[in-house]
Structure 1
Amino acid sequence: MPQAPGGLHRAADLILFGGQVLTLDRVGTRASAIAVREGKVLAAGSDRDMLMLAGVGTQRVDLGGRTAIPGFVETHTHPYFFGLTLDAAIDAGSPPNDSVNDIVERVAEAARSTSSGDWIVGYRYDDTLLRERRHPTRHDLDAVSGDHPVLLVHISGHFVTANSQALRLAGISRTTVDPVGGAIGRDASGDPSGVLAETAAFPVYALLPKRSEREMAEILGLASDAYLAAGVTTVHDTGIGLLNGHDELGAYRSAIDSGRMRPRVRGYLLDQILRQLGSGVPGPRAVDGMNLDPDRFRLDGVKIIADGSIQGMTGCLSEPYTCSPDESGMMLLPPHELAERVAGLHEAGWQVAVHGNGDAAIQAILDAYGALGVAQGDAGRRHRVEHCQTVREDQLERMAAHGVLASFFVKHVYYWGDRHRDRFLGPRRAGRIDPLASARARGVTFGLHADSPVTPVPPLEGIWCAVLRQTRNGDELGPEERVDVETALRAYTSDAAYLGFDEDDSGSLEPGKYADLAILSADPTATPAENLRELTVDATVVAGDVVRVRDGVAWGRGISDERGATSTTGRTAP
């Protein structure tokens, strides 16, 4: 009879059988069944062997031909910001909006139904998809907003548009100078246009009404629901404190204690928040203090933002933007200050994750890491470059040599690839955004991410992007940078777990690791590349608990499909 590690004959709590199990261990072991006990993987193997581990209380579930894989690890996301977009009064995105006027009409409707003087906030507008190809301005908003302060947040998170009332409350006027790392948009007369880039938006963010810890926890819960629906069982929050300072730590405690935040969280404090917590650079042990199970929540690192976004032309490039030959973007921190902060955080024991979209910013990040004088893996820090969108070949060589990790924003290929090619970067540079094949060839360990709310969560879509490199218009963009399905899967599972120091506990379905699983409608390695994003996540399991089942799928002793037929034979339900 198969035995648990250590020779114990205790029964499994849950056995999934009758399908495929992609363990994604080092050798790519496959099985047809998996057994779980006390929240961890007991074993994977044949149906017969795993069912022999059953006892009186074991839940047996026939997968009906479905495929179990390790739960996805989302290595760069913003749960609280994402939750706010799901809870927002105004969806300013495209779709559903085709023009600036469409957004203005939504603001007008909100103004009519909102108490006098209260804030109106909308999210996800994208100037490059609006008919006018411009940002909304305060003049657009003033016409319909009355006495309400209004704030619209760009899809990238790097810009906002505020109306005159919001600008007045924030003290932003004609005489206000641009802050370090930011810019105040101006109209033809020199007055603020309402468009605020990067750090220039912070004074307005600071005025938004404060929410209670309970309200913030529920907002995190909305994001949690979306992650679980996509099969995500671990999230890296790369920017805790971005909108509410260290209060976001308390919100996490409440959300996890109440069960509203079910994925595991690996947190990265925003650098500015860390520096507000005391003199010097406090280390991880001095800051955490959450009294939470570290399996559920752990502060791993600190996030620094080095530059902006390519689509906002604030990403810092070594060559000018194709559409604006005099513009190369901006560094939000001078390189010497970036290097000083990295060194201080490294010395204090933090993993450092630096946002870098443009290759000039990536150069400054690598210079800062290089100045540490140690290979990052040897130092136990695993420092990272976030997004890493326009990284060059020579920079990949440096990353590999120093053990610097990457979290690639691969969904840019689909969501912005056409515009990067035709407008911002030109064909040569656009064809190399998120160069996964080059990174893999050089031995750079990387994860993939959606940066939600910037793009939708589903990792299956990210895998599709990595394998096909197809734009919204259906064009190939840099096909030489494609990777195979298994590489993309690992960048959302086993390799992604390494980015967060979790490779001994998750990322693959091996005995003793967390029983975190995504149950897919079919085997992604046997699915035509063009159909990968059409696969569904039929169930999500965290620590052996089934925390989400797709609508129309009945979970029990067997899994039934939308028509109610149940498989008990190990074959797909008829």
Structure 2
Amino acid sequence: MSSARSSAREHTNDTDATAPQAADLVVLGGTVLTLDGASSRAEALAARDGRITAIGDDRSIAGLIGDATTVVHLDGRAVIPGFVESHNHPTFFGMALAAPVDAGSPPNEHIGEIVERVRQAVRDRGPGEWIRGYRYDDTLLSENRHPTRHDLDPVSPDNPVILTHVTGHFCVVNSVALQAIGITAQTPDPPGGAIARDERGEPSGLLIETAAFLANSAMPSQGPEQLAEALLLADEEYLAHGVTSVHDTGIGLIAGQGELDAYRLAAGRMRTRVHGYLFHTLLPGLDDGAPEPPDRSASTDRFQMTGVKIVADGSIQGRTGCLAEGYTCDRREHGMMLLEPDDLARRIAALDAAGWQVAVHGNGDAAIEAIIDGYAKLGAPQGTGRRHRIEHCQTVREDQLDRMVEHDILASFFIKHVYYWGDRHRDVFLGPKRARRISPLASARSRGIHFGLHSDTPVTPVPPLEGIWCAVARRTSGDNVLGPEQAIDVEAALRGYTIDAAYLAGEEHIKGSLEVGKVADLAVLSEDPTAVDTNRIRSLCVDGTVVGGTLVRRRDGLSVTTGGAR
């Protein structure tokens, strides 16, 4: 990255030919990483009416301070574009934050600890009231298995319980919940899913893929008001970590139509900008091949519906990601497709014809092949403006990356797989050769593929700085390096969470880099991530977050004044 400081570049609405209007916001006294095409740097910037109006040295930008200007004194800190999270689930995230049972690991090391949390939640609720819990991960529990109804029943004889897996692809329910859902030993597996059964053929309580979706749809729905409050909880967490834009990839997946209603109720209170991708089962007409076209009349600068999300397969750690070769732990097991390839291709074609951007979840390379085949059938992409995507794209092969280039297919990589599940992918699910290639960022970048990086929260924690560290260091939770040849440099990783992520939603012209005329969405970092040791990147702090030129979040110690006072 160039270390040269840029001179002031100004765009102002002058009241006369010589006196530029004062800025609403000035940030000065540090390093401004613009992430523009030239990788230029500066010392300061100014914004007015929500847009960046000038970037330059401290002296020139200080001249734009007026009596009412908010001045952020960096004192050596760094400013970057606000992070763009290219694959998240805000409603699901907020529901997990508000749930009575935290089933995650940490804090739970054993199934018994989760059961105790369920027991405590039952004590606080009346008979018949549903108990929800989130984020359990069988691969992190000492028993190395999913909980079952037999674990839950003794502490919840009168309350239906549902615990959702950290991936969202499974859930575990107790016997009362099975009865409420209508699942018995005679219930057949739904298409694209499975009902796990014990040695007697009775449901064990574990529901897989579409069977888990069935359980969620059978629960008493949370009202739009509750879901709106969940969105606001998620909003606070995003801002705390410098995330100013989020791609909600699967609106309706957890709570159906109520999620859209929740966004309408939360309008005006959410500060994070959201691009929505509607879960495909909620789009009228798609099953019949004639989906409704996008209606963007209600779009605002905080929320707009961008595309449609399809789930093609499951997760690698759940052994439902669809692989061309079998799982290392069981070569006979290849995972599953949630949609048959022909049906997937039909849906992609219908959505493309109706004018939707399409985002398809694909973890296993067999599923990725089916997704690429579906996109390839659309014909040559040149000049069409398509920006169709593959979500997670975890085990994409080199030949498949070549095909993605040929058909101009974008990717959003779930880079945090490397840290959170890399060791198990190597030792249990994929073996060393395939595991070292998960999220092959260097291979994608060498081909010029546009990609974003993401955390898939609530599957893994939000902080983009952790994701950037994962992309650069490729260290696992066991402190092993996994596929160092697929690591990228810090600037490339930053771009995966800013300008390149914005590209995935067709917004690179208004956000993702700090340039005059773009929205003034900023993250203030405790230090310049390009100037610290790689292992320190994940521990850097987000000291301030700016959305549309307004400082919406700051940590103690960040000096902010009004006008010229200090």
What TM-score do the two structures reach when normalised by structure 1?
0.94
Partners of 2:99 and 2:263 lie apart in 1 by 20
- The answer (yes or no) to whether the contact 2:294–2:355 under 8 Å persists in 1 is no
For 1:458, the equivalent position in structure 2 comes to 463
Q: Within the alignment, does 1:349 sit opposite 2:360 as a pair?
A: no
Q: CA deviation at 1:54?
A: 2.2
Instruction: Tell me which of 333, 337, 340 is aligned to 1:331.
Output: 337
Q: Secondary structure at the match of 2:218?
A: coil
Return the offset for 1:61. Answer: 2.3
2: CA distance, partners of 1:278 / 1:250: 23
Aligned pairs (5 A) from 1:438-477: 438-477=443-482
Q: Which amino acid aligns with 1:89?
A: P
Partner amino acid, structure 1, of 2:324: S
Deviations 1:79-102 (A, max 9, x none): 000101100101111111111111
Give % identity.
Answer: 59
Match of 1:299 among 297, 305, 308: 305
Note if 1:28 corresponds to 2:33. no
* Superposition deviation, residue 283 in structure 1: 4.2
1:315 paired with 2:321, answer: yes
Moved more, 1-10 or 356-365: 1-10
Kindly report which structure 2 residues correspond to 1:116-135, keeping only aligned pairs within 5 A, or say none: 116-135=127-146
Per the TM alignment, residue 403 of structure 1 is displaced from its structure 2 partner at its CA by 1.0
The answer for the alignment partner of 1:209 in structure 2 is 220
Alpha-carbon distance in 2 for matches of 1:532, 1:554: 19
The corresponding residue for 1:188 is 199
2:277 to 262, 268, 273: 268
Provide the rounded CA distance (Å) in 1 between the counterparts of 2:171 and 2:106: 18
1:243 counterpart residue number: 254
Secondary structure of the structure 1 residue equivalent to 2:561:
coil
Inter-partner Cα distance in structure 1 for 2:513 and 2:165: 36
SS at match of 1:320: coil
Give how far 1:477 is off.
0.2
2:559 aligned with 1:548, yes or no?
Answer: no
Would the aligned equivalents of 1:284 and 1:300 in 2 still touch at CA under 8 Å? Answer: no
- Whole-Å separation in 1 of the counterparts to 2:9 and 2:536: 37
- Inter-partner Cα distance in structure 2 for 1:6 and 1:283: 42
Question: What secondary structure does 1:416 align onto?
Answer: helix
User: Using the alignment, how far apart are the partners of 1:130 and 1:501 within structure 2?
Assistant: 41
Structure 1 SS opposite 2:71: strand
The 8 Å contact of residues 75 and 447 in structure 1, kept in 2 or not, is answered as yes
The code of the aligned residue for 1:414 comes to Y
Shift of 1:4: 2.2
Which residue of the partner structure matches residue 4 of structure 1? 11
CA distance in 1, matches of 2:294, 2:123: 49
Match of 2:372 in 1: 366
Q: Is the 8 A contact 2:276 2:304 kept in 1?
A: yes
Once residues 3 and 264 of structure 1 are traced to their aligned partners in structure 2, the CA distance between those partners, rounded to angstroms, is 26
Distance in 2 between the 1:251 and 1:319 partners? 42
- Tell me the distance in 2 between the aligned counterparts of 1:531 and 1:146: 48
**SS of aligned partner of 1:310:** coil
Letter in 1 for 2:271: R
Deviations 1:491-549 (A, max 9, x none): 00011100011111000011110000000000011011010001000000000011111
Q: Deviations over 1:218-273 (max 9, x none)?
A: 1000101110011000000000011222221121111122x1x2110000000001
Matching residue of 2:390: 385
CA drift of 1:7 comes to 6.0
Residue in structure 1 matching 2:522, options 501, 517, 523: 517
The answer to whether the aligner puts 1:492 opposite 2:497 as a matched pair is: yes
Distance 1:416 1:322 in 2: 15
Residues 39-79 of structure 1, C-alpha deviations (whole Å, 9 max, x = no match): 00001100011111222322222111111100000000000
Contact 1:335–1:364 under 8 Å retained in 2 = yes
Q: 1:264/1:421 Cα in 2 relative to 1: closer, same or farther (>3 Å)?
A: same
CA 1:372–1:133 in 2, change beyond 3 Å: closer, same or farther?
A: same
The reply on whether 1:396 has 2:405 as its aligned counterpart is no
Q: Which moved more, 1:274-283 or 1:40-49?
A: 274-283
Q: Which of the residues 82, 91, 94 maps onto 1:80?
A: 91
277 and 478 in structure 1: CA distance in 2 versus 1, 3 angstrom threshold: closer
Deviation readout 1:148-181 (Å, 9 max, x if unpaired) = 0010110111000011111111111111111111
Which amino acid in 1 is paired with 2:557? V
In structure 1, the residue matched to 2:56 is 45
Checking the alignment, whether the CA contact within 8 Å between 2:426 and 2:432 is kept in structure 1 is yes
How far 1:446 moved relative to its partner?
0.3
Please list every run of 5 or more consecutive structure 1 residues that lacks an aligned counterpart in the other structure: 559-566, 569-574
CA distance in 2, matches of 1:85, 1:494: 29
Q: Which residue matches 1:531?
A: 536
What's the offset of the Cα at 1:110?
1.4
TM-score for both structures, normalised by structure 2: 0.95
Letter aligned with residue 450 of structure 1: S
- Residue number among 101, 112, 116 corresponding to 2:123 in the alignment: 112
Q: Distance in 2 between matches of 1:283 and 1:65?
A: 51
Q: Cα gap change, 1:390/1:201 in structure 2, threshold over 3 Å: closer, same or farther?
A: same
State the SS of the aligned residue for 2:32.
strand
